[in-house]
Amino acid sequence: MTAPFYVSPEQLMKDRADYARKGIARGRSVAVVKYADGVLFVAENPSRGLHKISEIYDRIGFAAVGRYNEFENLRIAGVRLADMRGYSYDRKDVTGRGLANAYAQTLGSIFSSGGEKPFEVELFVAELGEDPADDQIYRLTYDGSVADVETCGVMGGSSDKTEPELTSAYTPGLDLASAIRIAATSLGADVEPQRTISADDLEVAVLDRNRTQPRKFRRISAADVGDALA
């Protein structure tokens, strides 16, 4: 009887991390930006049916990169969790932090399990506060790690090139058009020379503090995105 092939735990985790990172890097990027009236999501996504950006609950938005079927399952699970918690307790008890913690536990369990491959996804979970200082953005990686995003960030694709472009262009108190413009410009900085992404190839949505409805999520039309880019 032959002895089973041994791989050290450190090497196993490294291989799983490399696998997940390579899968995520093949996708197009998503940017998140805090602006004067809320939180902006911008994704390079020519599809109008397969969304990378979605609403989870009244004041909570979700954006993802990587394998669509995997992050779509996570989105649906998040909606169900939020609905159940809001129905069982109070709508104010549904928070972005609670949702991010639930996603972190799921992703961490899958990553550390030896029985299935790690999820090839990264997520942004954002919650709109009553005031700009209360806005919260969390970035979750394939291994369940959670990080606060202070002002803006990029994930997926060549984020090592596009995120510095975004952070250098960011200034506090941006209006919506300016925020869309710097996000779209940064997403095109993944190659040299820098490319221009058309409005039709962008998926844009916001958590808008100025909306009178309890649900603060709204999508921005391609026409309005084009006006902002112009």
- pLDDT tens by residue, 85-139: 999 999 999 999 999 999 999 999 999 987 789 999 999 999 999 999 999 999 9
Taking 70 as the threshold, does the pLDDT of residue 5 lie above it? no
pTM of the model: 0.93
In this predicted structure, the answer to whether residue 2 has a pLDDT above a threshold of 90 is no
Contacts of 57 (CB under 8 A, 6+ apart): 79, 82, 83, 86, 91, 94, 99
| Residues 60, 228 contacting (CB under 8 angstroms) | no
Radius of gyration of the chain (CA): 18
Give the mean pLDDT of 157-169. 93
pLDDT digits (tens, 9 = 90+) for 38-58: 999 999 999 888 999 999 999
Neighbours of 84 (CB within 10 A): 11
Helix (H, G, I), strand (E, B) or coil at 80: helix
DSSP 193: S
Phi, psi (degrees; rounded to nearest 5) at 227: -65, -40
CATH architecture of 20-229: 4-Layer Sandwich (3.60)
Q: Residue 193: is the preceding peptide bond cis (ω within 30°)?
A: yes
Consecutive H or E run containing 139: strand 136-140
CA distances from 76 to 42, 73, 82, 135 (A): 20, 5, 10, 23
Which pLDDT band, with edges at 50, 70 and 90, does 10 fall under? confident
Q: Residue 7's pLDDT is what?
A: 73
Domain ranges, ordered by start, for the chain: 20-229
Please tell me the distance from the alpha carbon of residue 23 to that of residue 32, in angstroms, as a whole number. 21
As a residue count, the chain comes to 230
Tell me what the mean pLDDT of segment 185-208 comes to.
94
% of the chain with per-residue pLDDT over 70: 97
The answer to whether residues 197 and 152 touch, using CB atoms and an 8 Å cutoff, is: no
Confidence of residue 4 (pLDDT cuts 50, 70, 90): low
